[in-house]
Amino acid sequence: MGILNLGEKTRAIAETSITTTLMVAFALIGLYFIPTVIIFFPIPFIVIGVRHGTKYNILALIASSLLIGVLTNLIIGLLMFITFGFLSISFSYMLKRKFKQNNVLIFSFGVALVSILLSITMFDVISGTSLIESMEGYLNDVLTMQVEGLKGLDISSYELSQMEDYMKSLFDYMLVLFPFFILTSAIVTTYVVYWGAVVVLRRFGYKNITLAKFKLFNLPKHIILGSVIMILGSIIIKYIKVLYFESIFINITAIIIFVFFLQGLAVIIYFMDKFKLNKVLKVILVILAIINSAVISLVGLIDVLFNLRKLGKSN
């Protein structure tokens, strides 16, 4: 038994070391070449935690973050740990102890949201300026470059002024939606990381860990009442003259549209599978659905009202 435990411990240390090395290289690729892949960073650590225990997950995360900090910047290493470390630990702990999928996703979403907010706070403290101000400065620089580029085209001063006003309004709108972007980032990160971890773990033989198909995603019926209450609440805020009413209203509206969009996208995928469309056509239709997000949100609302997919309450 002692020899068996020693062999298991050696295997755990070896896998932890390999994971640490590979994920440092992966993080550097994400930081300098393909930023979008960073979202997959926590997955191998979750696998290590489920296979060998949460302590190995933590050790690998600390080692990776330190190495990333040494090779790039200590602040980047710290932010990587805060943003993804707690989420990874949350997933590995709950999956290893076989929590229900809904509980895992809800709790981990909360962890992801708090982690993002902590990272933003840390950025503000270290840089001495808020992330919003940094983004505003960056967008102003982009606006200036765009306007300078347009001046070289054969357009009138009036048209140039109109285009400048339009771009400025668009950038201002993006800044107002910053809370919405944080929330959706936490949602997307949680689902993508969970999906990736489940796929990998099932390949390692953890067949008891399941992932409900997105096409069965179903909002509760009281979501409509909740949406109405939130909108009415934001209108009441306007009349009692609370600061930032417009920002609150826009973000609440964006969140409501987003959750109905998820429902609508699930409906589209459900019927694509039902009619057995080929993969190429599915990809094209999903892209078109994302482009026409307002229409898909309406589909989601109709599905909540009339249960187009005829799903049972258990879904």
Using one digit for the tens of pLDDT, what is the confidence trace for 93-113? Answer: 999 998 998 899 999 999 999
pLDDT, one tens digit per residue, over 220-257 is 878 888 888 888 887 777 677 666 778 888 898 999 99
Whether 315 has a pLDDT exceeding 70, the answer reads no
Give the Å distances, CA to CA, from 250 to 79, 133, 134, 254, 295.
29, 20, 22, 6, 19
pLDDT of res. 144: 86
* Averaged pLDDT, 1-15: 72
Closest CA to 83 of 98, 68, 94: 68
37-52 average pLDDT score: 95
CA dist., res. 65 & res. 83, Å (int) = 11
Whether residue 3 is predicted with pLDDT greater than 50 in this model: the reply is no
Spans of all domains in the chain: 2-128+179-203, 131-176, 214-306
* CA distance linking residue 156 with residue 159, whole number of Å: 5
* Contacts of residue 259, Cβ cutoff 8 Å, sequence gap at least 6: 219, 223, 300
What integer pLDDT is reported at residue 4 of this predicted model?
44
Which one, of 115, 107, 20, lies nearest residue 70 by Cα?
20
The neighbour count for residue 289, using CB atoms within 10 Å, is: 19
What pLDDT score was predicted for residue 242? 63
Element (H, E) at 139: helix 131-151
Q: What is the value of pTM for the model shown? A: 0.86
Give the model's pLDDT for residue 314. 47
Using CA atoms, how far apart are residues 2 and 128, in angstroms rounded to an integer?
53
Q: Would you say residue 261 has pLDDT above 50?
A: yes
Across the range 161-179, mean pLDDT stands at 88
CA distance 265 to 214: 9
Query: Which segment of 39-48, 217-226, 269-278, 298-307 scores lowest on mean pLDDT?
Result: 217-226
Res 241: pLDDT? 64
Residue 296 in this model has a pLDDT that exceeds 50: yes
Q: What per-residue confidence (pLDDT) applies to 148?
A: 83
% of the chain exceeding 90 in pLDDT = 57
Residue 158 has a pLDDT of 82
Give the range with max mean pLDDT: 11-15, 68-72, 130-134, 288-292: 68-72
Q: What is the mean pLDDT of the chain?
A: 89
Pick the CATH number of 2-128+179-203 from 3.30.160, 1.10.1760, 2.60.40, 1.10.3470: 1.10.1760
Indicate whether 6 pLDDT > 90: no
Q: How confident is the model at residue 197 (pLDDT cuts 50, 70, 90)?
A: very high
pLDDT confidence bin for 51, thresholds 50/70/90:
very high
Specify the length of the chain in residues.
315
Averaged pLDDT, 162-183? 90
Q: What is the pLDDT of residues 58-98, one digit of tens each?
A: 999 999 999 999 999 999 999 999 999 999 999 999 999 98
